[in-house]
Each structure stands twice: as structure tokens, then as C-alpha cells.
Amino acid sequence: MSEALVQSTTWYQNLTAEEERAWFEKQIQQCDKEITRFACHIAGNMEKAKDLVQEAFLRAYKYRHSYNEKYPFRNWLYAILLNIHRHNCKKEKFYKTFIPWKTSDDEEQDAWDFIESDDEGPEVKTLKKQLVVDIEKSIQNLPLKMREVIVLCDVLGYSYDEASEVVSCPLGTIRSRLHRARRQVKKDLEKIYGEDLLTSWR
């Protein structure tokens, strides 16, 4: 019993309020770029992504004492962000039924506006940039549950275990969602570029 008590010390136990705050700021600074990228892929445009990230920081600070340091801070933040986004999507769906709602603003920047290409020759650069833009568009067209998984696993390189922690669903579900998401993205790209693209791409 005493061993269990010793092992369950929390990250904030021996910290003052100022130290807690400094710890939190440091954690946020370490992952703010990554979380912005993640939010852009999930939300599909910059304005929504910024709002999501701000809301996620706020909620993370409010519930900071519930953070379990056994898991990476970044994963916990991603989970919070996903929950906020899911809630926003449900609210938007509800309002769309009863209130005329502008789905996208021409002035809002889409996620693919931030794609930069590698330093290669101009023709190759344009082709690869366009390809990456098409991949991003295809990801944005996926249903939210599939999008979450493909962004975590393929874009950010998470393992299935890590993705299942963030998304809070079993490994089998992650596996099937990822499989369906990849199949859909592959189909979309083959429609635009033909079947040879994926066979011969390097």
C-alpha cells in the first residue's frame, strides 16, 4: 500500500504555483509548432486551427492537475485538441440544420496554403508541391475519425499504441480506420494522377 502511494506522486506535488506555471509554459513551448501542424491537418484551415490550439491550451491549463506524467505531454494535448474539435464539429452540424451557415470563408487560409516544396528544380518542385497539396485535400475530405488516425500515424509517425491513447479507442479500431483512410487517399490520388504514380514514386 505504501509502495503504491510512493509511486503515485504527481508532477505538481512539490512545486509552488510559480514553478507549476513555469513547467506548463516550458511544456507548451516545446510542442507549440507540432500542435499547430496537427491542428491544421485536423481542422483544415488556419483560423480554425488557431482557435483550436488556443482552446486546447486553455483547457490543458485548467485541468493540468489531471495530467498523468506517465504519458507524453504532447499526446495529452493532442487528445484535448481532438475532443474540442469533435465537440465543435457536432455543434456545427447542429447549427447547419437550423441556421444558414457559411461552411468556408474565401478569406480563410486552407491548410494546403502552407505547404512549401523541397529545393529541387522548378518543374519537380511544382509537381511535388501539387502532389502534397492533393494529399492534404484528400485527407481533409476524409471523415473525422479516419482523418484523426491517418494524421497521427502517417503524417506524424505515431505508433498504433500511441494513436490509440490519443484517440481513446482500441488497437483494432485504429488498424481498420487507418486501412480505410489509406485506401481512400490512394483512390483519390489514383483518380488524379493514375495508377502509375504510387507505383513509381520515389
Partner 1 sequence: MMDCSRIKNKLSAYLDGELPEEDIREVRRHLFVCSACESELNKLRNLKGMMGRLNESFHPNASYVLDIDRIQSRIYSYRMKEIVMLSVIASIIFLIFVFVLPTYKSTLIGINTETSLGEIHRNLTGDSYDVPKTSGRVVVNYLKQVSSDR
Quote the DSSP letter at residue 65: G
Q: Assess 115 for contact with partner 1 (CB under 8 A).
A: yes
Cβ-contact 60, 80 below 8 angstroms: yes
Q: Assess 175 for contact with partner 1 (CB under 8 A).
A: yes
Q: What Cα–Cα distance (Å) separates residue 159 from each residue in 36, 91, 174?
A: 20, 31, 10
Angle between helices 73-98 and 160-167 (to 10 degrees): 50
66 burial via Cβ count (<10 Å: 0-12, 13-18, 19+): exposed
45, β-bridge pairs: 110
For partner 1, the binding residues in 53-72 under the rule CB under 8 A are 53-54, 57-58, 61-62
The binder of partner 1 chosen from 159, 170, 191, 194 (CB under 8 A): 159
Select 36 or 72, whichever has its Cβ closest to partner 1: 36
Binding interface with partner 1 (CB under 8 A) = 21, 24-25, 28-29, 32, 36-37, 40-41, 46, 49-50, 53-54, 57-58, 61-62, 111, 114-118, 129, 131-132, 135-136, 139, 150, 153-157, 159-160, 171, 175, 178-179, 182, 185-186, 189, 198-199, 201
